[in-house]
């Protein structure tokens, strides 16, 4: 790093990224407010968009340019329900995901549109959501690793240059994939916070490589992330994992479980059985066990966010 204003990638010395336009206000707010209280992150975007009429066949990233008003509306509802932190609708908006979903727009356009949609809600902090490339094993000196790192770097820069206050690397199931993601994101972060969240099974192990959550969190801390956490798991798995993470690391711990499993209707639509009170009961325990950032993942909605805001007294 060359200080705020420019980031140089260590393995590709010819590349540099102008970071002078980064919006650091949300990162400062994150530091200051986490020192005072627990924070509430918005609920899911993907499952909410899939639940719209006809939405089950539309890739979530498409909505950022195809119907930005709907994306903005969802962010606004989460903000009105009490969420402190917005997450952009970019979980699957890297170059490989856009190609798979046959979305012709560039990584830069899709991610920039998503940041604009999220910032319209007026939350003090907007994090750019980045999901996994889905590769469980990457040898660090391989061409595959370099391509993965470059893809993560490209999306992270698109998000930060568009005004995101930090990056959330979420639903990662394998450590080696996460290492490439952290490396690529760190190439362009220039001091902006990089948060990490793992997807785990009921035993508290990563769903891809089977690593236990303690080892995963400790390795992420070694790599310089801002926060560690879990998402896209059951409430029961989350409740077991939070104290384990809090003991394994001194970083802020986040927790965002699912609302159960979806039911597919005869028309192909997906619905979840949302139980806000189950989240409320669990949230009390999460806070007692050390969670500092709380939220919900697939299948939950605005009602769950509102209920969590009441528990957190926001």
Question: What tens digit of pLDDT does each residue of 34-54 get?
Answer: 999 999 999 999 999 998 888
What b/e readout covers 231-270, taking b as 16+ CB neighbours within 10 angstroms?
bbbbbebbbbbbbbbbebbebbbbbbbbbbebeeeeeebb
Give the model's confidence band at 260: pLDDT under 50 very low, under 70 low, under 90 confident, else very high.
confident
Alpha carbon distance 217, 71 (integer Å) = 32
pLDDT of 271 above 90: no
Binding residues: 232, 297-298
Phi-psi region of 44 (alpha: psi -120 to 50; beta: other; left: phi over 0): beta
What per-residue confidence (pLDDT) applies to 8? 61
Could you report the per-residue pLDDT of 195-214, keeping only the tens digit for each?
A: 999 999 999 999 999 999 99
Residues placed in the known binding site for Zn(2+): 232, 297-298
pLDDT confidence of residue 1: 40
**Average pLDDT of span 274-302:** 97
What Cα–Cα distance (Å) separates residue 68 from each residue in 61, 65, 117, 256, 266? 10, 6, 6, 25, 28
Q: Are 165 and 25 contacting, i.e. CB atoms less than 8 angstroms apart? A: yes
The pTM is what?
A: 0.94
Query: What pLDDT is attached to residue 11?
Result: 52
The domains located in the chain, with CATH, are 6-312 (3.20.20.330)
What's the CA gap between 305 and 302, in Å, rounded?
Answer: 5
Is the pLDDT score of 118 beyond 60?
Answer: yes
Tell me the average pLDDT across 3-32: 81
Residue that is written with structure tokens 């927790």 in the block: 255
What pLDDT is recorded for position 14?
52
3-state secondary structure 211-279: CEHHHHHHHHHHCCCCEEEEECCCHHHHHHHHHHHHHHCCCCEEEECCCCCCEECCCCCEECCCCHHHH
Mean pLDDT of the chain: 93
């Amino acid at each position: 790093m060359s200080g705020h204003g420019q980031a140089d990638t260590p393995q590709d010395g010819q590349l540099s990224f102008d970071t002078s336009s980064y919006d650091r206000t949300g990162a400062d707010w994150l530091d200051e407010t986490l020192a005072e209280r627990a924070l509430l992150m918005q609920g899911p975007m993907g499952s909410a968009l899939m639940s719209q009429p006809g939405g089950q066949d539309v890739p979530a990233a498409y909505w950022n340019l195809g119907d930005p008003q709907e994306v903005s509306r969802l962010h606004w509802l989460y903000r009105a329900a009490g969420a402190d932190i917005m997450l952009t609708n970019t979980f699957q908006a890297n170059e490989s995901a856009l190609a798979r979903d046959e979305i012709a727009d560039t990584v830069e356009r899709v991610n920039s549109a998503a940041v604009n949609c999220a910032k319209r809600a007026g939350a003090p902090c907007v994090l750019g959501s980045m999901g996994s490339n889905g590769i469980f094993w990457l040898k660090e000196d391989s061409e595959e690793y370099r391509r993965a790192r470059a893809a993560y770097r490209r999306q992270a820069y698109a998000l930060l240059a568009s005004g995101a206050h930090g990056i959330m690397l979420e639903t990662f199931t394998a450590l080696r994939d996460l290492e490439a993601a952290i490396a690529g994101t760190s190439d362009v972060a220039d001091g902006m916070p990089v948060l990490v969240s793992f997807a785990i099974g009921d035993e508290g192990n990563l769903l891809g490589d089977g690593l236990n959550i303690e080892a995963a969190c400790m390795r992420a801390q070694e790599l310089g992330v801002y926060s560690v956490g879990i998402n896209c798991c059951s409430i029961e798995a989350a409740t077991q994992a939070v104290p384990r993470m809090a003991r394994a690391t001194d970083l802020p711990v986040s927790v965002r479980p699912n609302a159960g499993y979806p039911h597919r209707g005869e028309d192909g639509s997906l619905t979840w059985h949302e139980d806000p009170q189950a989240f409320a009961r669990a949230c009390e325990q999460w806070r007692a066990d050390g969670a500092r950032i709380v939220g919900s993942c697939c299948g939950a909605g605005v009602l769950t966010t509102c209920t969590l805001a009441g528990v957190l007294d926001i």
